[in-house]
Structure 1
Amino acid sequence: MGFGAAAALAQEGPYRFDVDGTASQALYRVREELVGVALPGDAVGRTNWISGTAVFDEQGQVIPELSAVRVNLATLQSDRPQRDNYVRYTTLEAGRWPEAVMVPVEVQGLPWPLPEEGSVPVTVVGDVTIKDVTRRLEWTGTASFEPGAMRVSVRTQFNFAEFNLQQPRVPLVLSVEDLIRLEADILFRLATQ
């Protein structure tokens, strides 16, 4: 019997899963070419300042009105402090909009009740807000299970203009590809009620 079924025996739904920020990570990847560096490479910024909740009904459908995952944009960190400051305060304007928020509206491929082990491919459809722009994005990846928890590892991509983001243009950067790749690796723990 999966932990979803065990929880159903102990209580009625909905079922709340809280983000474990100590065991979760979100990151961006953008291909860039720097002055003095022979080949283009990926700029990677990451944070584990993630919070939120995913709530499911008795049939395993996500309840968007009760669910959201929040990422603190001011804590994104790469291998270059100058890049971090530019991304935080020019591209993302984290002083004005400190969080990116994803509200899941559908999770495809998630078995219900949830198993206690194994993994499955999933697609998470969600409304993502960055700055003052909200767009529906599709994230693909896997959900893996352990007793009382599930780890969702997904990715998506979009262009700078889709969220009205300013593409970096600074002297040390020769070029920045117009494609932002996001990855999230989030551990959700079943909340006890």
Structure 2
Amino acid sequence: MTRDRQATTARLLDAAFATLAGEGFAGFGINAVARAAGCDKKLIYRYFDGLDGLLDAMGARVAEDLVAALAPALDPPAATYAEMIERLALALLAHQRSDPRFRLLRAAELAGGSPSALRFQAARGRAMQDWMRQARGDLAPPEGVDAPALNSVLIAAVEGLALSGGTGLDADGGERLRHALVHLVRRAYEPG
């Protein structure tokens, strides 16, 4: 029975991601997901307590993938705030470029502005905040640097690169992009 529940839950989540990919938030709903999964919509209510629970489960899956992708950037601990942000930026770029779920959800969020998108943003935001708390420890940005604003710009740039496919700079496997990102972080966080 547990395996059936796990298999059905996984099938429903996969169908939900596929439905969102095909229809966007405008066409996303219980009936569409049930059709895509080839099951009765009652199962969505049984396993997820409805559409909000399904959206929360999808957000949790994306956040879990993000946490797993960022975990290696914590070891060993960064020696400086700049090194921490450099690791974060590179890990985010690698994850976002390789994770189709991330790109799908982020593109749908940007295109739709749906209240449902807020659930994904919140789940991803919590995962990022937890990572930052763990990675930061006693590290502090250089004096005079507005780290929250700068980090927001860097994260938006990384997302843009992931969503755009690197703007044609992938012939070398993305090495030029990684190098430029490291250069940008180091210059932005130079002391003084």
TM-score normalised per structure 1: 0.27
> Per residue, is there more strand in 1 or in 2?
1
